[in-house]
Amino acid sequence: MFEAILILFLLGLSLGSFINVCIYRVPRGISIVTIPSFCPSCHRTLLWYELLPIASFILSKGRCRTCTSTIPVRYPFVEAAIGMFFVFLFVLYGITAQFLFFGPFFVLMFLIAIVDWQHFIVPNQFILAGFVLSGIWQITFHASGIMQSIIFSLLTSTTTLLVLYIGNYFIKKETMGLGDVKLAGLIGLYMGFQHFLIAFWFAAILGSLYGIFKTFLRLHRDTTDNPSSVHETSSGSSSELRIPFGAFLAFTSSCVLLLEDQINTLINKWWILIQ
């Protein structure tokens, strides 16, 4: 048991290191295969011992040994998070079909959430990887449900596209992007239409609260720094507030999928009460 947990934790750390590469390179259009790992500041190729998950960050004291630029704390955090998550899934499900189902989905949602939070994009490469992994799992463990999953994917993406166009029409500004529509299709493939609606609803709430919070902070900062700028902000001349909706949707979808059994129980109880 302990040996299995240790191996999975180390595998998670290694995968987390690769995810860090994807987080930095994919939004910038840098190859994740042909170019060796390098320092983003001085572009020096890193040595093998500088690529050890978590350990290299600690040994280097969070700085590049050549240019002494600071290494973001995000790197060891992502590595540790994926390692602990693999252990968590193993304790819950063991090495089963459920482990192989939940693992890729949560890792992808984690990756998408961070990239969308930082860059406000959902890269097509991540969506394509999700569809491929889901297809492999379906063929291996649940071939009879492939058509149903495809229908759910079309339903979730179409619903999100309608919400996008309706929101843009009434609000007169971009409420979501097409990347969010593609993400919705991927989520529907994994969790179905009903649970997607629950995740979407919670994501909309979190996104709205985030928007209100950011607007309040901006108004407070503008008022403190320059009281005359309040009128400019309210008239729309300042930079437009952007909300990483894909990050919230990825987070809520992960939570809903993880709590699927509890949610199904609540839905059944609610359905019995209203009948």
Domain parsing of the chain, residue ranges = 1-95, 97-275
Both tokens of 112, joined, read: 């998408």
d(CA 156, CA 149) in angstroms, rounded, equals 11
Least confident range from 111-115, 130-134, 169-173, 178-182: namely 169-173
Burial 54-81 (b: 16+ CB within 10 A, else e): bebbeeeeeebeeeeeebeeebbebbbb
**Which residue(s) pair with 92 in the sheet?**
none
Contact 210, 249 (CB under 8 A): no
pLDDT of amino acid 3: 86
With bands split at pLDDT 50, 70 and 90, how would you rate the model's confidence at 232?
very low
Dihedral sign from CA coordinates of 147, 149, 155, 158 = negative
Alpha carbon 182 to chain centroid distance?
13
Q: Is the pLDDT of residue 235 over 60?
A: no
Average pLDDT on 225-239 reads 51
With bands split at pLDDT 50, 70 and 90, how would you rate the model's confidence at 173?
confident
Collapsed DSSP state (helix, strand, coil) of residue 143: helix
Average pLDDT on 172-195 reads 88
Percent of the chain with pLDDT over 90: 55
Residue with tokens 């209100």: 212
With bands split at pLDDT 50, 70 and 90, how would you rate the model's confidence at 227?
low
d(CA 86, CA 65) in angstroms, rounded, equals 31
Across the chain, mean pLDDT equals 87
d(CA 180, CA 253) in angstroms, rounded, equals 13
pLDDT of amino acid 142: 81
pLDDT of amino acid 225: 66
pLDDT in tens, 47-96: 888 889 999 999 999 998 889 899 999 999 999 999 999 999 999 888 88
Residue with tokens 């994919």: 26
d(CA 107, CA 101) in angstroms, rounded, equals 11
pLDDT of amino acid 236: 45
Average pLDDT on 204-214 reads 92
Is the pTM for the entire model greater than 0.85? yes
Q: Is the pLDDT of residue 108 over 90?
A: yes
Average pLDDT on 210-223 reads 85
Least confident range from 9-23, 62-76, 181-195, 214-228: namely 214-228
